Structure formats: C-alpha cells, structure tokens
C-alpha cells in the first residue's frame, strides 16, 4: 500500500467526473550505496509530435510554455546559475490554526506559511521559475510579488510577477501562502528547491540543500524556519492536547525506568519462552571457540549465524567447546523452535528445523556481553509467537542501496525476524530491473526536471532536478538475486511489492513513454501491449498524495498483460536465486477511482462478465490478479483496505492481508473481520508499527505523524498485538483524545450485525513493522528510524509476555476507564520494560555500534529540582552530558548544583560506544 502518507489529508480522494462536482470524502488520512545501478542518462529518442498521439499535456508542460511565451525572454543560463548560488530561501510556518482564511471547498483545515527570498547581489527576475516540493497543496497566495501553482503530487512552481524586474540586493521578498492541512515538523519542509527555464539546465538553489551536523551526523535543514510556538506550530486543529517532548517531559516519562543489572548476563533478545538456570549457576568460557558436530543439518543453514558469532570473537576451531546440533522434527513444535543447553563442558542444540538451529546460535550470540567470551550455564527452550515476523522497507519513494538491505537482513536475523516485505514500486519510483521493460528503470527509477517525462519522472519529495541524485536508482537483476540469496541464507523470505492499481505513477509514465516510442516507429501493437492508461479517459481525480495520473486502468487487457509480465520476470529472478517466489504483495490500497469517465471501463462494465458497476472495479482487479498468482503457485498479499473490497468467495484459499487500520479509526474491526474470513492477517497497526513516524512529539524529529505523533521504543515494547482494542486503556489518539474501541457485537439500525469480534480459536498470523521513505533520503536515516524500535517489535513478534491482556473472544468495549488492564499487569509490564531497556543499553546497542548501525541516540530528560540538575534517559546506562551557558560539555553522573539558574542548560546523550552524540535539548 503505500502507506506513505496513509492519510496525509482528511480527504482520501477527490474524484470529479463529468457532470459531477466532487465525490464523497472518506476519513482515511495518511501522510501518506555499493553497487547501485544508475539508469543510463540517455533517453528514448523523442518522436515528433505528428508521429504519435500524446497523452494530455501536464500542468508542468503548460507552465513551461507559459514561461517561454509570456512576453519575457527566457532567462540565460548565467542567470539561473547566479540564482542557484546566491538566492537565500527560507520557509516559515506562520500558523497551523484554521479559520475563515481556509477555503471551505478544500476542507476545514489549512495553514499559513511564508517563503522568504533574498540575495546579497541583484538577480534578474523573469524568464525563470522555482520548483519546490510541499506535501500539502497550495490553496492560494495572499501576499507577495510571485505566483505559486500546484503542478502534480507535491511539486509546486513559484514564478515572479511580470512587473518584478529584479530581486534587489539586501531586500527580502516574502510570499505568504495558505495551503491545505498543516505542517508540524521540519521534515515536512522538503529540500532542493531548483530554478529552471525552457532550454536551460535546471539548478538546485544552494541555500535549500540539506547539511550534516558535525556533532551528531544528523541531517539539518538550514532553510527551515523555527517551530517554537506551541499553539501555532506544534498542535493540530481540533483541541490537540499533545504534550511536546521537551527535556522536562522526557524526564517525567523516564522516571520509572532505572537500570536493572540483575539477570543481565542471562538476557536474550528476543526473550525466549523458557530459560532455566541450574542450581549453583556457573559459566562456560567460549574463548577456545566452538567445535561443531552436525546431525541432519547442512552447514549453509547456519553459516550466517556462525559468522555473526565469529564477529563477536567466538570462532569455529578444532579444539573448541563441543557443540552438537541435531535436527529433531516434531509435529507439535513450530517452525523455528529450538532447545539450547549450555553445560559446563559442552553445548547441545536440538532444533525443529534448520531455521531453529540458526536461531539457537543467534541466542548464543545474544547472551554474550560486549567484549566477553563467557556465557552462563542455562537450559533454554524456545519457539516463536508468530510464524510471520516482518519488516517492510519502502525503497520506491526514495531509493536505498543494496548494501543497506544486506545490513538490515543481517540485523533481522539477529532478532529472529523472518519476512522482508520489499516495496519496490510506487508513484515516485520503480526500483527493479524487469527484462523486456527497460523503460521501468530507465525512466521510472529517476526523477528529474523533464516536463514531458520522456527521460524521467517529475521531481517529488524534494528530490531536485538531477537524474543522478542519490534518491534515484534501481536494483539490477544481479543485485536482486544477491539480496534474495543473502536473505535465504538467514532464513528470511523476501516478499516483493509493486503497488497497483493505485500508487502506480512510475509504471504508468514509463509505459506511456514506451507507447509513444513504439507508436512513432509505426508499431501500434507493441505500443499498446503494456499500456496502463486509457488515452480517452477524461476522469478528473486526485489521489491521496495529490496525483492526478497515478492509477492503472483495470479495464484494459494490456494492464493485466503488464502485471503478468512483471510477476513472471520477478519469479524468474527468484528461481535463479534458488529462492522460489512464494508470496507476492499486490499493494491494492488507496485506489483513487480514476475510471469514472473511461470509455474502456464503460464498455467493460456494459459487456458483462465482470463487476456490474465501475465502483466495484478495484475489488475485481485484486481478485483477478490474486487468481493469476494462484495459477502460478504464488500466494497473494495486499493491504487490508483494498483487500476488504474483494468477495472472499472469489479469492484464493491462502491470502495475506496487512491490517493497517488505525486504532483511532476503529481499525481493529477490519482486522478482526478479515481474520474471520480465514485470511492470514498481519498486524501492521500504524499507531505503533509505522517506523516512518517520529520517535517523539518533537518538530525536529524526522517523520510523518498522521498515524502517531510519537512512537518511541517503549511504546512498541508495550504493544499487545493479540488484543488491539485493549489499547484504548493505554493510549490516546493523535490529538491527545481519549479512545473508545468497541469490539462487542454491534448491530446497525436495521438490526443486522455490523461487527463481530474474532471468532474463537482465530488469531493473527504475524506482526510487521513498516518504514515508508518519503522523508527518509539516506541509508543512515533508515537505520535511525528503524533502530532501536525494530528490536522492540521483534520482541513482541517472538515473545508473548505474561503481562499482556489476553483477547476476549466474547467481545469487549475498551476505554480509558474500562479497567481490564489491571494495576498488577501495569507493574509487571513496567518492570519488564526496565529490564528490556537495560539490556538494550548494555548488550544490544553496543553490538549495533560494532555492526556499524547508526541507531537513534535518544535525547535525555532533565529537570532542575531544589537547585540541582537531574537527568535520565529512556535507556538507563547510556551516558548523559551537560553544559551550562555554552561552556564545555561535562559527563553527568549525579545531581549537579546550578548556581546560575538564568543560564541555558543543555543536555545530550552518548552512544553506547561513546563515539557519537545525540540531539541536544535545552532545559530552560
């Protein structure tokens, strides 16, 4: 799905068909580096305009012509170069509060912002335009000598008024705008504004590039204004009571988490089902290494786990501690189960399968304290909570390297995750080489300034005008095969995903370019073979990310020919890798309904044999593609909203649905309904599993916040995935509102049952964390957003804690005061968190440092109490530094007397290895 902004707007789609003004709006809101192969810079030969029928002009093409035909000469290249070098751009959110200034036709929410332009030298105005990304579309300009126009998606164009002849040195020019929704974070403010003119080379404006902070290594946005006023900058409209994560607020939330040393040496992450220590304890010294004896097991199944042990200093040697590993399959033991016996002179492992043997060795590695080669004598019996323990990584919005994926796969294996849901195609990019469809990567993998989209897609998400940008790229067939083999060696199944029929703009535009090329050659059959759009379709629509042209036409046979071609080529790559394609993710979500005035769809519906009306076409597409997959022996997967539009009777026997319904929208109901269909439902609850959300309520934390204003590691640890509605007792909604989640049987006004709880004996099939990449442009940012909260998700996916509230199959309604989650359970949960947080700081984070993973270092909490500075951190054991009045940084170890209470007090945290620093927070 592309949950990219799953719901960045209050309106999920606007469909304006002929004779209609608008469709009804729903309430789903969503904000939505190695051997990487860059596509060649050469483009398809552009056919003459008379040689083919082109699709309707884009707004950007029309605006380019306007620039050239407005009576002003096109700016010289020197002018563009000077603007790029000297123009200072800043963007300031003025006020997020709605009022009479909002356009009522666009909804009730809007915000005021201001772009400021200045230069130290005179710059010519006219004959050029500035293009920039703004994730919420413009409503109107209210002040300033410039026009602003929404082009498509998030791309906007700013242009000087004809009367403006120059940007005078030393004079600020302010453009005040009103736009849809709100901007509550600096990561909403996309970088890489660029200046362009017809026939000239577009240039990024230097002042809008991001930078790297020397102390933290984190990205900064010098062009972004301040977010320092709670009401105007930090709160959503509608009575938001959210508390920003200041140093004082963090101090309060960390108060109950003290370092727990007891049992640290016995701790394994994720927590095993059973750990027993023999009377008298004792330790086993592994300094001599391990001497393996295998029974019923081939070495390749455990080589990755052995390599991880070797990286920690425990190598395989002839004279090492004897290790007997045997496969002993038993019908009552789940896949991945194992027994690990650490005795005084030897180690015994009995596993249900090769995956279980690898898990046992990973647990042995987890026992090791950093720098130590001793482990306690223990008897461990273990098996996973869920068979599906997944991570979704979006490389479509912004490309990420093959090397990053390999690092992530290794860490997934460390924490016993076993599914990589790899999101390879969306509106903003197509990331996998497909034999016979080179346009998908030659055009669809790049964003650049090309109004006709013959060489690349339009810039989006602050990508800028350059096709060689690091956010562009794709995996070659050989890259993908390497990823598959690397995953397979770690017992991880890769589930490829190309979102369709919505969220498909990259594919749509690539196939339109293919169409034009073959039509120019006089080969209409080849031109139409994989065409994804009806040229005669006059439907006007807007997707959740504000595209007007991102949806595959599901009434055309060529669309299904394209889908089948992609599936067959992906399956061929899996066979070459020795990793058969077992499951394929269709996407299937957030379809904007682009077919209302398509002649192809009207004819298709009228002919019969399919759905009786156009509104049912989304479900028809999913059913047809699912049947196509089933005929090839491949299981179908999709996001729950699209999958919910299907007729279960027309779907295959095995179906995966990722349940991404937000709890504040009663999302547990669709999850339960699809479990009751007999589907394999994977908990993907955005309130807690969307790792593109910020860690805390802080405008300087990266991430979209439609699903959660703050999802820190503790919140993920506290998740009870078997009992979704119970979280009404524990969490509040996005604006701090109390939740009531109803799971008892409900009836509509006519008496028919409208909701049932999960049927007795049914349960979820798995748990998955999601990283969407709209705001994530670099590999280091991926690691920041995933770690360490992915470790907490792995804990919940593998281990069912005794403090969790079991699901009530009779159905219950939960609220803040319903009281089912008892005080005793709260105490046990909080004690378990303190132990887990201590293990993270003492064992897990140091090993992540050793692996080169740039996890997020949390900001500290702080408070001055009775004239003394107190501090704490969410992971007790990490070191805190402080400084007063801009003085030297000093290690904080105990309360410090503060003599000058007026001086600024700043705090920051060190990484576990002491080599990096986190963000600084000012206490006062």
Which residues are designated catalytic?
Answer: 590
Q: Are 377 and 278 in contact (CB under 8 A)?
A: yes
Q: Which of 419, 389, 385, 413 is nearest to 271 (CA)?
A: 385
Write phi, then psi, for 389 (nearest 5 degrees): -130, 100
Beta bridge partners of 166: 124
Q: Which helix (H) or strand (E) holds 575?
A: helix 557-577
Instruction: Say whether 699 sits in a helix, a strand or coil.
Output: coil
Q: Which helix (H) or strand (E) holds 389?
A: strand 388-394
C-alpha triplet 65, 68, 71: angle, nearest 5°? 125
Q: Which helix (H) or strand (E) holds 291?
A: strand 290-295
Place of tokens 């005793």: 824
Q: CA 260 → CA 252, 256, 264, 791, 894, distances in Å?
A: 19, 12, 7, 18, 18
- Burial tier of 428 (Cβ tally within 10 Å: 0-12, 13-18, 19+): buried
Q: Are 875 and 863 in contact (CB under 8 A)?
A: no
Instruction: Say how many residues make up the chain.
Output: 924
Q: Are 369 and 392 in contact (CB under 8 A)?
A: no
How far is Cα 327 from Cα 835, in angstroms, rounded to an integer? 33
Q: How many CB atoms lie within 10 A of CB 158?
A: 22
Q: CA 789 → CA 605, 685, 716, 866, distances in Å?
A: 47, 15, 7, 34
Q: Which of 625, 622, 638, 396 is nearest to 506 (CA)?
A: 396
Write phi, then psi, for 755 (nearest 5 degrees): -155, 135
DSSP letter string, 334-352 = -TT-EEEEE-SS-EEEEES
Q: 813-815 and 766-771 as β-strands: parallel, antiparallel, unpaired?
A: unpaired
Beta bridge partners of 349: 325, 340
Write phi, then psi, for 49 (nearest 5 degrees): -65, -25
| Torsion sign over Cα 11, 15, 20, 23 | negative
Instruction: Say whether 324 sits in a helix, a strand or coil.
Output: strand
- Burial tier of 569 (Cβ tally within 10 Å: 0-12, 13-18, 19+): middle
Instruction: Say whether 62 sits in a helix, a strand or coil.
Output: helix
How many angstroms separate the first and last alpha carbons of the chain?
Answer: 43
Q: CA 201 → CA 45, 125, 625, distances in Å?
A: 19, 17, 43
Instruction: Say whether 195 sits in a helix, a strand or coil.
Output: strand
How far is Cα 140 from Cα 359, in angstroms, rounded to an integer? 57
Q: How many CB atoms lie within 10 A of CB 514?
A: 24
How far is Cα 26 from Cα 16, in angstroms, rounded to an integer? 15
Please state whether the peptide bond connecting residue 74 to the residue before it is cis, i.e. omega within 30 degrees of 0: no
Q: Are 16 and 541 in contact (CB under 8 A)?
A: yes
Beta bridge partners of 342: 347
3-state secondary structure 566-614: HHHHHHHHHHHHCCCCCEEEEECCCCCCCCCCCHHHHHHHHHCCCCCCH
SS3 content of the chain, % helix, strand, coil (to 5): 25, 20, 50
How far is Cα 680 from Cα 387, in angstroms, rounded to an integer? 10
Place of tokens 């008024």: 161
């Amino acid at each position: 799905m592309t949950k990219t902004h799953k719901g960045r707007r209050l309106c999920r789609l606007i469909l304006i068909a002929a004779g209609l003004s608008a469709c009804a709006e729903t309430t789903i809101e969503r904000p939505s580096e190695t051997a990487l192969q860059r596509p060649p810079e050469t483009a398809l030969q552009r056919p003459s305009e008379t040689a083919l029928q082109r699709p309707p002009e884009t707004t950007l093409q029309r605006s380019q012509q306007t620039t050239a035909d407005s009576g002003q000469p096109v700016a010289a290249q020197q002018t563009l170069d000077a603007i790029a070098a000297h123009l200072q751009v800043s963007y300031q959110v003025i006020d997020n509060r709605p009022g009479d200034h909002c356009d009522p036709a666009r909804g009730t929410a809007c915000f005021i912002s201001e772009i400021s332009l200045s230069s130290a030298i005179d710059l010519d105005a006219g004959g050029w335009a500035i293009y920039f990304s703004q994730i919420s579309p413009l409503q109107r300009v209210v002040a300033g000598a410039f026009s602003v126009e929404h082009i498509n998606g998030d791309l906007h164009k700013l242009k000087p008024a004809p009367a403006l002849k120059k940007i005078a040195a030393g004079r600020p020019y302010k453009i005040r705008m009103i736009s849809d929704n709100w901007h509550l974070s600096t990561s909403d403010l996309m970088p890489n504004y660029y200046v362009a003119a017809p026939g000239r080379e577009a240039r990024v404006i230097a002042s809008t590039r991001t930078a790297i902070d020397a102390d933290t290594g984190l990205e900064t946005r010098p062009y972004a204004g301040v977010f320092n006023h709670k009401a105007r900058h930090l709160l959503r409209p509608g009575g938001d009571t959210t508390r920003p994560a200041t140093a004082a607020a963090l101090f309060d939330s960390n108060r109950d988490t003290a370092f727990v040393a007891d049992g640290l040496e016995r701790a394994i992450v994720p927590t095993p089902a059973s750990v027993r220590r023999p009377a008298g304890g004792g330790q086993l010294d592994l300094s001599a290494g391990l001497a393996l004896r295998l029974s019923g097991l081939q070495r390749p199944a455990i080589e990755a786990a052995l390599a991880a042990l070797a990286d920690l200093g425990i190598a395989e040697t002839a004279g090492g501690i004897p290790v007997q590993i045997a496969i002993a399959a038993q019908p009552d033991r789940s896949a991945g189960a194992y027994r690990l016996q650490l005795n005084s002179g030897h180690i015994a492992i009995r596993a249900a399968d090769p995956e279980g043997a690898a898990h046992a060795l990973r647990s042995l590695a987890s026992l090791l304290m950093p720098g130590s080669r001793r482990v306690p004598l223990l008897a461990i019996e273990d098996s996973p909570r869920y068979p599906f323990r997944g991570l979704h990584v979006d490389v479509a919005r912004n490309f990420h390297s093959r090397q990053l994926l390999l690092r992530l796969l290794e860490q997934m294996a460390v924490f016993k995750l076993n599914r990589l849901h790899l999101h390879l195609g969306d509106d903003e990019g197509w990331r996998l080489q497909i034999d016979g469809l080179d346009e998908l990567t030659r055009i669809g993998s790049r964003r650049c300034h090309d109004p006709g989209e013959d060489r690349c897609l339009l810039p989006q998400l602050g990508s800028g005008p350059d096709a060689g940008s690091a956010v562009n790229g794709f995996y070659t067939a050989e890259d993908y095969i390497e990823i598959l083999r690397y995953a397979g060696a770690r017992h991880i199944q890769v589930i490829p995903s190309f979102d369709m029929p919505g969220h498909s703009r990259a594919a749509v535009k690539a196939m339109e370019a293919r169409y034009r090329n073959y039509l120019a050659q006089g080969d209409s059959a080849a031109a139409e073979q994989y065409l994804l759009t009806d040229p005669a379709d006059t439907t006007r629509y807007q997707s959740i990310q504000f595209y007007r042209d991102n949806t595959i036409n599901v009434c055309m046979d060529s669309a299904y020919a394209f889908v089948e071609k992609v599936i067959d080529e992906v399956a061929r790559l899996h066979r070459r890798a020795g990793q058969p394609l077992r499951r394929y993710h269709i996407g299937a979500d957030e379809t904007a309904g682009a077919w209302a005035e398509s002649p192809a769809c009207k004819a298709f519906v009228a002919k019969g044999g399919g759905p009786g009306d156009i509104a049912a076409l989304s479900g028809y597409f999913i059913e047809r593609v699912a049947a196509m997959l089933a005929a090839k022996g491949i299981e179908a997967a999709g996001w729950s909203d699209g999958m919910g539009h299907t007729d279960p009777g027309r779907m295959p026997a095995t179906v995966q649905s990722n349940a991404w319904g937000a709890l504040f929208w009663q999302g547990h109901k669709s999850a339960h309904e699809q479990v009751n269909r007999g589907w394999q439902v994977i908990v993907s609850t955005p309130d807690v599993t969307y790792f593109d959300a910020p860690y805390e309520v802080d405008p300087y934390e990266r991430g979209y916040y439609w699903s959660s204003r703050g999802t820190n590691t503790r919140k993920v640890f506290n998740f009870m995935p078997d009992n979704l509605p119970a979280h009404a007792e524990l969490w509040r909604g996005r604006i701090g509102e109390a939740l009531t989640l109803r799971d008892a049987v409900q009836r509509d006004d006519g008496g028919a049952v409208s909701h049932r709880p999960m049927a007795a004996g049914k349960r979820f099939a798995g748990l998955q964390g999601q990283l969407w990449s709209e705001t994530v442009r670099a590999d280091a940012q991926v690691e920041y957003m995933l770690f360490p909260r992915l470790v907490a998700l792995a804990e919940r996916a593998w281990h069912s804690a005794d403090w969790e509230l079991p699901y009530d199959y009779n159905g219950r309604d939960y609220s803040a005061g319903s009281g089912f989650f008892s005080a005793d359970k709260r105490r046990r949960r909080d004690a378990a968190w303190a132990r887990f947080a201590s293990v993270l700081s003492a064992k897990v984070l140091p090993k992540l440092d050793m692996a080169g993973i740039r996890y997020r270092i949390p900001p500290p909490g702080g408070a001055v109490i009775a004239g003394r500075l107190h501090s704490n951190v969410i992971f007790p054991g990490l070191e805190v530094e402080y400084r007063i009045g801009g003085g030297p940084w000093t290690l904080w170890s105990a309360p410090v007397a503060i003599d000058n209470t007026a001086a600024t007090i700043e705090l920051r945290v060190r990484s576990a290895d002491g080599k990096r620093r986190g963000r600084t927070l000012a206490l006062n």
